[in-house]
Amino acid sequence: MKRPIKKRASRPRPANPKLVVFNKPYGVLSQFSGEPGDATLKNWIPHNEVYPAGRLDKDSEGLMLLTNDGVYQARLANPKYKVWKTYWVQVEGEPSEDQLKQLCSGVELKDGMTRPAEVFSMPEPNNLWPRNPPVRERQSVPDSWLCIRIREGKNRQVRRMTAHVGLPTLRLIRAQVGPYKLATLQPGEWREEPPLW
């Protein structure tokens, strides 16, 4: 005799949905807890009822969204919704047309082919804050900036994509998720915005 499948009870949506737009500094974990000595979101975000909508690696910087609405959290982070994410990526080397074309078409990673992306060369972003520690520089090898827009979220995807085509990532900054942008936020700063969906 088959047992009936239990449906997980979903939490009711909050009466006052909250969305926090945060500029995560380099070296900070995208969670509220960690080992002793770890820098976590708790060091910057005073709210205790919001949770990250997606992750950003410890060695990456930029836009993180946090919300108290589980439905909205899934809408922003789940790859099935195909929300565009924009990254500013400093790479080692100068990209060729062929390398840019490969990134746009999709590259074969160990966990599968990436979806087509939007990729183009860009100047260094305006008013870019210094990174601490600084990015390593090699006098003999130039570096360049790329704008990469993807609609999925494989683990460390952008870094693996650029490495695959011979352009190792030196610095990675997430600048936009869906309609939400970093704008003038400096590392460690946050603001509240109304959820749009």
Q: How confident is the model at residue 10 (pLDDT cuts 50, 70, 90)?
A: low
Is the pLDDT at 8 greater than 80? The verdict is no
Is 90 exceeded by the pLDDT of residue 196? no
Q: What is the mean pLDDT of residues 1-22?
A: 72
Q: Which of 57, 59, 111, 143 is catalytic?
A: 57
pLDDT by residue (tens digit) across 103-153? 999 999 998 899 999 999 999 998 899 998 888 777 777 899 999 999 987
**Res 92: pLDDT:** 95
Determine the pLDDT at residue 6. Answer: 54
Beta strand 169-177 with 61-67 is parallel
Query: What is the biggest distance separating any 2 CA atoms in the chain, rounded to whole angstroms?
Result: 71
Our answer to whether residue 143 is catalytic in this structure is no
Structural domains in the chain, CATH included, are 19-79+179-193 (3.30.70.580), 84-125+136-177 (3.30.70.1560)
At 59 the pLDDT is 95
Write out pLDDT tens, residues 104-113: 999 999 988 9
How much is the average pLDDT of 170-187? 95
- The residues facing 191 across adjacent strands are 21
> What does the pLDDT average to over 7-31?
84
pTM (predicted TM-score): 0.90
**Mean pLDDT, residues 2-24:** 75
Share of the chain above pLDDT 70, in %: 94
Rounded to 10°, the helix 157-164/97-105 angle is: 140
Region of 182 (left: φ > 0; alpha: ψ -120 to 50; beta: rest) is alpha
